Homo-oligomer: A and B are copies of this chain.
């Protein structure tokens, strides 16, 4: 394979056409396969393409087709490990199909989310993948431009867009059941939000309740300290409140891993040993969960699959291969059992 030196210009359709002795459009037809080309011609062109190492000029193609090949990806909290890890997967999945991704951070602000969902956040984007937090159905219906949109996460914003999300109720139920199976009986939950619970909080609480009900255990409101947000400090302070109760819990289900890591730290500071004195489980399976001390039992969504599905959905809409109503896609999850919830092994 010979690589052209220094300033060698990239070969164009025209160069290939001259070498193969056909017109530019015929080469274009061979490359794109839009129009049938006679076998002999196709072969001759293909040889010329290979010989010159021709690669289509993406920019020119985009100008011609009117698409930019860029999509926006928006999360409420990009520095959060779960979103960051998911973002990496979305970028990788998009790249595999020749799409580049612009990242946005909405801060969970409904107005910002609406802007993004309307395609007004970045110039020249073909579609949007959004993980909404504050946005509601009415606002989403009111958007001024209908750009292809895929939603990630728990919030049900109606049939306007496709949605990819795992079954949060089931995930919460399974991991709570795991705690029950391990013999824990007084199980607290960290992650409830009091004035205005998000969909996440509602669904994970529902799963937790179901598991308790299945086991015939009562729901003690004292074991549901509300939090402001879902970061480590929120988990830590909720944990400290739980530890001040007259009758302490023997296990805690945290609605995400950051809360769990904060809770872990608070437990550690209080001199408790996890899981001997207290079990802690999380949700999301962020990378750090595997390396925490002790390592954290958690609900693990398949982030790669979620990303793959979201990108594929969006692509179908952009290329208008699918134009129907919003689809709901629910990939599975696993409960990953680690040290923080297993007493005797």
Task: Point out residues on A near B: beta carbons under 8 Å.
Answer: 3-6, 8, 10, 55, 57-60, 62-63, 68, 70, 78-79, 81, 84, 88, 91-92, 95, 100, 102-103, 118, 120, 123-124, 144-146, 232, 261, 264-265, 268, 287-288, 291-293
- How far apart are the CA atoms of A343 and B264 in the complex, in Å? 22
A189 CB, min distance to chain B CBs, angstroms: 22
Contact: B88 with A84, CB < 8 Å? Answer: yes
- How far apart are the CA atoms of A118 and B5 in the complex, in Å? 10
- From B58, B144, B288, A3 is in contact (CB under 8 Å) with B144
Residue in chain B with minimal CB distance to A295: B265
When distances are taken between beta carbons in the complex, the residues of chain B under 8 Å from A103 are 91-92, 95
Contact: A146 with B63, CB < 8 Å? Answer: no
- How far apart are the CA atoms of A103 and B91 in the complex, in Å? 9
- From B3, B100, B118, B144, A102 is in contact (CB under 8 Å) with B100
When distances are taken between beta carbons in the complex, the residues of chain B under 8 Å from A291 are 232, 261, 265, 288
A80 CB, min distance to chain B CBs, angstroms: 10
When distances are taken between beta carbons in the complex, the residues of chain B under 8 Å from A4 are 144-145
A233 CB, min distance to chain B CBs, angstroms: 10
When distances are taken between beta carbons in the complex, the residues of chain B under 8 Å from A55 are 123-124
Q: List 17 A-B contacts (CB under 8 A).
A: A3-B118, A4-B144, A55-B123, A57-B63, A58-B124, A59-B59, A60-B63, A70-B100, A79-B287, A81-B287, A84-B84, A92-B103, A100-B102, A261-B291, A264-B293, A288-B291, A292-B293
When distances are taken between beta carbons in the complex, the residues of chain B under 8 Å from A10 are 124
A292 CB, min distance to chain B CBs, angstroms: 8
Residue in chain B with minimal CB distance to A103: B91
Contact: A59 with B3, CB < 8 Å? Answer: no
- How far apart are the CA atoms of A8 and B119 in the complex, in Å? 13
Residue in chain B with minimal CB distance to A55: B123
Known contacts A62-B59, A84-B84: A145-B5 contact under CB 8 Å: yes
Residue in chain B with minimal CB distance to A87: B88
A124 CB, min distance to chain B CBs, angstroms: 6
Contact: A6 with B100, CB < 8 Å? Answer: no
Contact: A120 with B3, CB < 8 Å? Answer: yes
A337 CB, min distance to chain B CBs, angstroms: 18
- How far apart are the CA atoms of A61 and B92 in the complex, in Å? 27
- From B62, B91, B120, B293, A268 is in contact (CB under 8 Å) with B293
When distances are taken between beta carbons in the complex, the residues of chain B under 8 Å from A232 are 291
Residue in chain B with minimal CB distance to A67: B59
- From B95, B118, B293, A265 is in contact (CB under 8 Å) with B293
A112 CB, min distance to chain B CBs, angstroms: 15
